Amino acid sequence: MRALIFVNGTIDDYAQLARWLRPDDYTIAADGGARHCAALGLRPAVLVGDLDSIAPDLLADYESAGVTIERHPPRKDETDLELAVRRAVTDGAAEILLLGALGGRLDQTLANLLLPARADWPVPILLADGMQLARVLCGGKSVTLHGAPGDTVSAVPLSAEVAGITYTGLEYPLVNATLRLGSTQGVSNRLVGESATICIASGILLVVQESSD
């Protein structure tokens, strides 16, 4: 099961966003992220958060419709998104996709972007924004990207260093290379065919793919 979590960030183009939706997604709204569900004509299975950002009329609609509501106190140690991710894991998600996680407050955007980098999540957490899909790769792992020639692929280190980086299928290959935190060497590479593979030996790497179509 894939869990789709709507976050209270910025979504500029709902028609473009629809490319990421599947009919069998298990949908969770993280507090104010419920507004994105409403804009898409979706009703989440679960609403999670302290509920300080959701519109009162939308909350009332969810309550009357029987949506499961996991309410938390305003004084809490986790963001609404982290609580929503925990709920998705508890409910059996094998993969989690975040939508609306960027934009707005810079601190929230950074926290949302870095949340998938935690090593203790038992399932992969991806983040989609427009035509871009971001995922985190941890040491000893590899990822195969599928797309079209010309898709932009960027690799950004999230740990002090990422070692043993090897690319295949990208315009600018790397073999057993090392990227250090703050390096831009891995930014703006491109697919040369319909797939590419990135593997690393150690560290944490953010991989962002932007579709060219």
pLDDT in tens, 190-199: 999 999 999 9
Contacts of 43 (CB under 8 A, 6+ apart): 27, 37, 62, 65, 67
Report which of residues 161 and 104 the model is more confident about: 161
Q: Looking at the domain covering 2-130, what would its CATH class be?
A: alpha beta
What is the reported pLDDT for 181?
95
Alpha helices per DSSP H over 77-166: 80-90, 106-114
- For the chain, which residues make up each domain, given as ranges? 2-130, 136-210
Structure tokens at 54: 């959701």
Distance CA 179, CA 112 (A): 23
| Same CATH fold assignment for domains 2-130 and 136-210 | yes
pLDDT tens for 83-127 read: 999 999 999 999 999 999 998 788 888 888 889 888 788 999 999
What is the reported pLDDT for 134?
94
What is the reported pLDDT for 51?
94
Report which of residues 109 and 178 the model is more confident about: 178
What is the reported pLDDT for 150?
94
Q: What is the mean pLDDT of residues 17-22?
A: 90
pTM of the complete model: 0.92
Yes or no: say if 198 and 165 are a contact pair by the CB < 8 Å rule: yes
Structure tokens at 113: 């972007």
What is the reported pLDDT for 27?
97
Query: Taken in order 103, 106, 108, 113, is the CA torsion positive or negative?
Result: positive
Q: Which pLDDT band holds residue 53 (cuts at 50, 70, 90)?
A: very high
Percent of the chain with pLDDT over 90: 81
**CATH topology for the 136-210 domain:** Rossmann fold (3.40.50)
pLDDT surpassing 90 at residue 188: yes
